[in-house]
Structure 1
Amino acid sequence: MTQKKALIGSRIFDGSDWHDNAAVVFDSGKILGILPVEQISSEMEKIDGGEIIAPGFIDLQVNGGGSVLLNEEPTVDGIATICAAHAKFGTTSLLPTLITDTFEITSRTVAAGIEAKQQAVPGFLGLHLEGPHLSLARKGAHDPKLIRPMEDEDLDLILSCGLALDALMVTIAPESVTPEQVIRLASAGITVSLGHTEASYDIARLYVHAGVRTVTHLFNAMSPLGHREPGMVGAALDTGSLYAGLIADGIHVHPAAMGAALRAKTGPGKIFLVTDAMSPIGTDITSFTLNGREILRRDGRLTLEDGTLAGADIDMAACVRLVHETLGLPLEEALRMASAYPAEAVQISGSKGLLKPGFDADFVVLDASLHVQGTWIGGSCVYQP
């Protein structure tokens, strides 16, 4: 029989409310509740959590970390390294993300993801396949030679992966995927996301009707908001059912644009934070390779030699600090953007994203300046500085 544990914090945010001088009580990887400190029984193991305890961060777009890029190491070990690298920054669940690649690499990634689930790799939530079924006109850093329409074998592979994983996100563009294919993906419980597309407002809405649920890195690599053609950005903000990822590094999107989008977004769909992180996270490396092309790390930016942005050099805790400190969002809303809202986006909000009874015991411990002091996954401390 395991011993109940109580993680004590000066302040605890459960996803809805704050609790002062309280403890998260958990056992066997699940949360039992939040109690005032004076109600903790002597039978419980007491653990000092520090200033702030909040739901663990959930990142739905993570290309790499710890010197590993998923495209270059589509293995269980590669996935485990990426998850461990981001755990240092408070991320307790993530979707390792495969950038546009060959069918062979995609197949290897799918196999590795299924094995990672079987091995219960800490922090592994599922996969995000970002391409190759995108628009050449909005390719960004994706290799144009590898972008192509979705064929039957692609669809079958994705469907098989969706059945095996707890969460699967697929970024597609209407230029390369039909509404009928989206219907099949969405019907299988796969989170279909629009991104890297020139789609008009009306086309985007058509694909939402087919089952699209999210938008990949809002503003980046998509048709912009215009006063006569609202574009993909307009559809994302105006369509209540859509959730949208946002890279909050101050480089991919100007803070003023972030603030405008947050004020304009129609619900119940929310804007949530993603890092779009690459292999340098948690390291001091200054360059790496993607599809045979060198990516340079300079002054907080990751770019191809021609200056095209290629992912982001930021962690989730830093994203939370930016939207709280630079945009002035209340701390609880900044924390929800990194936990509750991404959980809702991929439909796991019944088990993750909140500190509620029955939820997974995934927490991040922060100091007063919102730097990570501890990360817990499934009731186990996986990082402490």
Structure 2
Amino acid sequence: MTLSHAFCGARIFDGQRFHDNAHLVVRDGRIIAIRDGSPPAGIRRIELDGGILSPGFIDVQVNGGGGVMLNDAPSPIAMARIAAAHRAFGTTALLPTLITDSADVTAKALAAAGQAAGQPGIIGLHLEGPHLDPARKGAHLEKFMRPLDGADVAAYIAAAPKVGRLLVTLAANQATVSQVRQLADAGVIVSIGHSDCSADEADAFFDAGARGATHLFNAMSGLSHREPGLVGAVLARSDAWAGIIADGQHIDPRAIAIALAAKSGPGRIFLVTDAMALVGSDADRFDLNGRTITRDASGYCPRLLLPDGTLAGSDIDMASSVRFLVEKVRIPPEDALRRATADPADFLRLGNERGRLAAGARADLVHLGDDLTVRRTWLGEEL
């Protein structure tokens, strides 16, 4: 007979709202129900001593962690190490992310993601490049940037079912509407990013099946009153999603607040970390494509800088991102938590499987203190 588990003693956040004076029942790694009051006899109780029990966080843009960058070691071992580093900060599912690199490294990452599929915490792969606009390169190397071609489309379509969720960030001037439609129809999630496109160009890509935008505001055409740009297109469209880096370095908190208030739904703005190797590491510098990136500890959150002062990803984890939204952007905890759980799950079309404490979903859980710091995590296969 399978023994059920009942999580008791904490406020329960189900991905949308809080439940007080309730317990969560889990069996065989799946959610059974949230029930009022105390659990009956015969159920193994897991006492939590206050705080919040939430779905585990989901991060669709994780370049590294635990001292490892995926670009330096595109292998299942590196992916597992990155996932383990971020689990300590409440992230129970993530897309290891490859920054623009050579065709050989990209091929290795696709193969590694197929081999890593099903490993704890790994739900796919994010290719952030190489099909980006050099005019909006950020920390990416221009020499590797190139247009999307037929061989790329075929490779991504072939890889998508093997890796779980394949997310490809590309610029509007490096791909065609027809190519985007091919990818989207085959199950590849397309996001527009590192792009100087107009709002009209963005709309054409969204109409063709592009799902959203990568790190809203950063490395893209901005919002102005006569040319809304990619930012304006995302905010105005109900079907467009967007990740956002909430670390106080990439975007001013007031701009985040304006975007959250302006966004048309059901497509939402969700949290991403864009984390680099230093998350979960004691180091203060690392190398990326032969360039040294250093940590500057000033500000609410440290920032990572290239020698010329360019921001190079982030040094923030998902739990800290949630706290930033609550403390600096002044949104309610349930709103911030949703943007780290149910919203990224829906963006990835995994809303029935992850990101919610609903019957049948995976029991990937994080227990937070009242201050939103992580106390413990569980993956469904452990319960």
TM-score (normalizing by structure 2): 0.97
Deviation at 1:166, TM superposition (A): 2.2
- Local SS of the residue matching 1:305: coil
Q: Name which of 353, 376, 382 aligns with 2:378.
A: 376
Partners of 2:367 and 2:303 lie apart in 1 by 28
Deviation at 1:175, TM superposition (A): 1.1
Aligned to 1:322: 324
Aligned to 2:44: 45
Aligned to 2:7: 7
Aligned to 1:115: 115
| Residue 137 (str. 1) matches residue 135 (str. 2) | yes
Q: Name which of 250, 257, 261 aligns with 2:255.
A: 257
Partners of 1:202 and 1:228 lie apart in 2 by 12
Question: What letter is aligned with 1:341?
Answer: D
Alignment check: 8 A CA contact 1:9 1:53 kept: no
Question: What letter is aligned with 1:227?
Answer: H
Partners of 1:130 and 1:96 lie apart in 2 by 10
Q: Name which of 170, 175, 178 aligns with 1:177.
A: 175
Q: Name which of 177, 194, 197 aligns with 2:195.
A: 197
Alignment check: 8 A CA contact 1:163 1:188 kept: no
Aligned to 2:217: 219
Partners of 2:371 and 2:353 lie apart in 1 by 28
Deviation at 1:379, TM superposition (A): 4.8
Over residues 188-215 of structure 1, what are the superposed CA-to-partner deviations in whole Å (9 max), with x where a residue is unaligned? 1111000000000110001111111110
- Local SS of the residue matching 1:58: strand
Deviation at 1:59, TM superposition (A): 0.4
Aligned to 2:355: 353
Alignment check: 8 A CA contact 1:66 1:282 kept: yes
Return 5+ residue gaps in structure 2 as ranges: none
- Local SS of the residue matching 1:175: helix
Alignment check: 8 A CA contact 1:66 1:82 kept: yes
- Local SS of the residue matching 1:105: helix
- Local SS of the residue matching 2:287: strand
Aligned to 2:80: 80
Over residues 141-166 of structure 1, what are the superposed CA-to-partner deviations in whole Å (9 max), with x where a residue is unaligned? 00001001112221121111112122
Deviation at 1:35, TM superposition (A): 2.1
Over residues 271-324 of structure 1, what are the superposed CA-to-partner deviations in whole Å (9 max), with x where a residue is unaligned? 000000000001111111111111111110111100111100000000000101
Deviation at 1:72, TM superposition (A): 0.5
Alignment check: 8 A CA contact 1:217 1:247 kept: yes
Identity of aligned residues (%): 49
Alignment check: 8 A CA contact 2:157 2:187 kept: no
Deviation at 1:48, TM superposition (A): 1.6
Partners of 2:107 and 2:285 lie apart in 1 by 26
Question: What letter is aligned with 1:94?
Answer: L
Partners of 2:223 and 2:189 lie apart in 1 by 24
Partners of 1:93 and 1:76 lie apart in 2 by 15
How many residues align? The count is 378
> Moved runs in structure 1, 4+ residues, more than 4 A?
none
Question: What letter is aligned with 1:76?
Answer: P
Deviation at 1:355, TM superposition (A): 0.3
Partners of 2:132 and 2:10 lie apart in 1 by 47
Partners of 1:155 and 1:304 lie apart in 2 by 32
Alignment check: 8 A CA contact 1:323 1:329 kept: yes
Partners of 1:191 and 1:49 lie apart in 2 by 37
Deviation at 1:241, TM superposition (A): 0.5
Question: What letter is aligned with 1:43?
Answer: G
Deviation at 1:17, TM superposition (A): 2.9
Aligned to 2:369: 367
Deviation at 1:82, TM superposition (A): 0.4
Partners of 1:379 and 1:14 lie apart in 2 by 19
Over residues 3-41 of structure 1, what are the superposed CA-to-partner deviations in whole Å (9 max), with x where a residue is unaligned? 111121321111233222322111111101112342x23
Question: What letter is aligned with 2:313?
Answer: G
Partners of 1:287 and 1:161 lie apart in 2 by 33
Deviation at 1:99, TM superposition (A): 0.4
TM-score (normalizing by structure 1): 0.96
Question: What letter is aligned with 1:377?
Answer: L
Aligned to 1:276: 274
Alignment check: 8 A CA contact 1:193 1:215 kept: yes
Question: What letter is aligned with 1:93?
Answer: A
Alignment check: 8 A CA contact 2:16 2:342 kept: no
Partners of 2:285 and 2:201 lie apart in 1 by 38
Over residues 235-260 of structure 1, what are the superposed CA-to-partner deviations in whole Å (9 max), with x where a residue is unaligned? 11111110000000011000010001
Alignment check: 8 A CA contact 1:8 1:37 kept: no
Question: What letter is aligned with 1:242?
Answer: A
Over residues 312-363 of structure 1, what are the superposed CA-to-partner deviations in whole Å (9 max), with x where a residue is unaligned? 0000000000101111111111000001111111111111111011000011
Alignment check: 8 A CA contact 1:134 1:148 kept: yes
Question: What letter is aligned with 1:13?
Answer: F
Alignment check: 8 A CA contact 1:204 1:232 kept: yes
Alignment check: 8 A CA contact 1:27 1:379 kept: no
Alignment check: 8 A CA contact 1:103 1:154 kept: no
Aligned to 2:69: 69
- Local SS of the residue matching 2:166: strand
Aligned to 1:29: 29
Return 5+ residue gaps in structure 1 as ranges: none
